Amino acid sequence: MSDFLPEGLRIVHEDRDLIVVDKPAGLLTAGEPGTDVRSAFREIKKYVREKVKRRGTQVWIIHRLDKEASGLLVFAKTEKAFEWLKEQFRTKRAHRLYAAVAEGLVGTGAGAHSGTIQSFLFEDDDGVVRSEAGPIRRDASGKPLRTEGKLAVSHYRVLASGKGRTLVQVRLETGRKNQIRVHFQYLGHPLVGDRRYGAATDPIDRLCLHACELGFAHPATGQTVRFTSPPPPAFKRLVGSKSDGAHEPAEGESPSPQPLVEHLSVTPLRSTAKPLPEGLAAQAAPQPGDQSWDHVAGWYQHLIEERGSDHHERVILPGVVRLLEPRAGERVLDVACGEGSLCRRLAALGVSATGVDAARNLIATAASIAPPHNAPPPEYHTADARQLESLGLAPFDGAACVMALMNIEPVSLAARGVAALLRPGGRFVAVILHPAFRSPGQTSWGWARESDSPERPIPMRQDGPPRRTPDDRKRRPGKHQRRPHEQIAPEAVRQFRRVEGYLSPSHREIIMNPGAVAKGKAPITTITYHRPVQHYVHALAAAGLCIDAMEEWASLRTSERGPAAEEENRIRREIPMFLAIRAVKVARSG
């Protein structure tokens, strides 16, 4: 059966829906459309056609490996399998694990045997990918360039080190072009043999990167399947380890896909942030390298403490306390606590509250505000929400994260940290902007006539109901004819929420000071990350947190009297603004 394949390209699995192959280094995954260069894709198409002896047989490409890398690839043999597999890779459900050898000793600090690399990747005109801390590239004057970076997250674990090199295992949370190679260059440890991205050595005449595990749900059965390919024995020899060619899990590692991150010990990751109030969320652009909300702490304090936030006071905080069900004497952790409003509310109930935030200015503000009713003051710590285990705090009975998870990336680290600090049975409550209806830049309000049929284009306006048309005025004689700009009666229009995207994770830069920017001041920005609900569910489940309640909360604001007020109030109650999730730490047996 493999007689039709070139040397080095090995079939790992084949059925009527798909084919999994082990690609050798030096072979393209696929050439550019319209070209006929030698590639794994071309060879697999030839193999399938020769096997079935039928012209017109098709094969579909699902994902790629760099030409210089080796390892596992899956191709679809039916259109149904293609759509199924492509969706799994797009929504990050597919499991991919890599082995690589990096120059130098990676993770030499305390507890640095694993870590996360997060940055934004930009591809230059020459095809070289570059890594930067922020998603917007700027010229020498600070003016934003047109290219926008793509968020990339890689998790790694050190397997062995020696001879001035490190063997690592890498799991991708995103799958960008050259991601692993660029990230290890960004870390200061380019992969052995990777001259394109700064390697100084090439002892085995190849890039030391191999795709060793590939898992996904099978398109025919829905069952999870997993395929493995041992990394080349030379990878272990490069670090002075004995090798029998087998892929050996690290000590204590499960053969099933487990999060590879235990300590955040590598690149600086963007820290906890709060979302903007309604009305600012659709405006955009962040400060590269900004690590916390210190640069907007004064603005946020003014919003919450002086002007107040009706969403927080009337909807969010009461809802969090209700779901959290705190009892006097319990210990509760507030993750990304900001200026401490939830901590003070919990303290007033007799709860021992502890707040954590990455912004020192916000923590200083929180500590300076006395709790009400002579309650004991909460305890505050300045720390990254993705490094909660490093605080060494005693276990908590409950935890909360209010309007901040969508500003933490990767969210899996925060979930694991919360789970590590909760007692078995402890509750965790998280509130976020509703991903389906309130995603900045992907959702907006619109108006349509009640009489509009699905066959007719909907006349939409973002700033209010549709205006009357000449036909409307003909049906309403008298003074209405003399007022051509009058809005039609409220009962004749309907407001709706427009959703332009949901399943694809994305990020958006938010300008915190749009008024000042309009006057020529430099923008102060932060980043919000859009993720579908399933992303949060998976992160919590992987951390050992079982969801037992989910609620959707609407805004309680009301419009001033006017022709559109009734409809605006109706739709405001129908389309939720916030999503609240409660999860309980599962007590592990044994």
What does the chain come to in residues?
A: 590
Active site residue 66: yes
Place of tokens 């001259």: 195
* pLDDT reading at 57 higher than 50: yes
386 or 374, greater pLDDT = 386
Top-level class of domain 1-91: alpha beta
pLDDT level of residue 478 (50, 70, 90 thresholds): very low
CA atoms within a 13 Å half-sphere pointing along the CA-CB vector of 107: 26
112 pLDDT above the threshold of 60: no
**Mean pLDDT value across residues 537-560:** 93
Q: Is 164:190 a contact under the CB 8 Å cutoff?
A: no
Cα Rg, the chain, nearest whole Å: 27
* Topology of the domain covering 294-438+502-585: Rossmann fold (3.40.50)
**Closest among 12, 118, 115, 120 to 70, alpha carbons compared:** 12
Rounded (5°) CA angle 579-583-586? 165
Catalytic residue among 22, 66, 294, 472: 66
Cα distances (angstroms) measured from residue 145 to each of 128, 179, 368: 17, 22, 41
Residue 272 reports pLDDT greater than 80: no
Inter-CA distances, 554 with 332, 450, 496, 570, 573, Å: 26, 23, 15, 11, 5
pLDDT at 174: 86
Residue 470 confidence class, pLDDT cut points 50, 70, 90: very low
Lowest mean pLDDT: which of 18-32, 362-376, 404-418, 528-542? Answer: 362-376
Spell 456-488 as b/e; 16+ CB within 10 A means b.
Answer: eeeeeeeeebbebeeebbeeeeeeeeeeeebbb
Please, where are the H alpha helices in 240-316? 297-301, 310
Report d(CA 521, CA 506) in Å as an integer: 27
Instruction: Pick the range with the lowest mean pLDDT from 18-22, 107-111, 282-286, 534-538.
Output: 282-286
CB-based contacts of 583, cutoff 8 Å, min separation 6: 427, 428, 430, 540, 545, 546, 547, 548
Percent residues over pLDDT 70 in the chain: 76
Which of 135-139, 259-263, 527-531: highest mean pLDDT?
527-531
Q: Residue 313 in 3-state DSSP?
A: helix
- Beta-carbon contacts of 482 under 8 Å, excluding residues fewer than 6 positions away, are none
Amino acid of residue 530: H
CA distance 296 to 359: 9
Half-sphere exposure at residue 513, Cβ-oriented, CA atoms within 13 angstroms:
17
DSSP state of 555: -
Tens digit of each residue's pLDDT (9 = 90 or more) over 3-34:
557 678 999 999 999 999 999 999 999 988 77
**Tokens at residue 217, please?**
């749900």
Task: Average the pLDDT over each of 48-62, 98-112, 469-483, 541-555 and give the range with the smallest value.
Answer: 469-483
Q: Is 409 helix (H, G, I), strand (E, B) or coil?
A: coil
Q: Where along the chain do the CATH 3.40.50.150 domains lie?
A: 294-438+502-585
Task: Burial-class residue 237 by CB neighbours within 10 Å (0-12, 13-18, 19+).
Answer: middle
Q: Where in the chain is the domain with CATH 3.30.2350.10?
A: 1-91
Give me the CATH code for the 95-211+230-267 domain, please: 3.30.2350
158 or 262, which is more confident?
158
The pTM for the full model equals 0.66
Residue 108 confidence (pLDDT): 59
Mean pLDDT, the chain, rounded, equals 80
Cβ–Cβ under 8 Å, residues 505 and 533: no
Give burial (CB, 10 Å; 0-12/13-18/19+) of 125: exposed
pLDDT for the residue numbered 196: 94
Helices (H) and strands (E) counted in the chain, each on its own, are 14, 24
CB environment 241-267: b (16+ within 10 A), e (fewer)? bebeeeeeeeeeeeeeeebbbbbbbbb
Element at 335 (helix H, strand E): strand 331-335
Runs of H (alpha helix) within 124-266: 179-187, 233-238
* Cα–Cα nearest to 497, from 561, 575, 567: 575
Residue-level pLDDT at 332: 97
- Alpha-carbon distance of 152 to 175, in angstroms, equals 7
C-alpha–C-alpha distance, residues 303 and 513, integer Å: 12
Helix/strand/coil (H, E, C) string of 105-140? CCCCCCCCCEEEEEEEEEECCCCCEEEECCCEEECC
422 pairs with which residues across the strands? 396
What pLDDT score was predicted for residue 2?
52
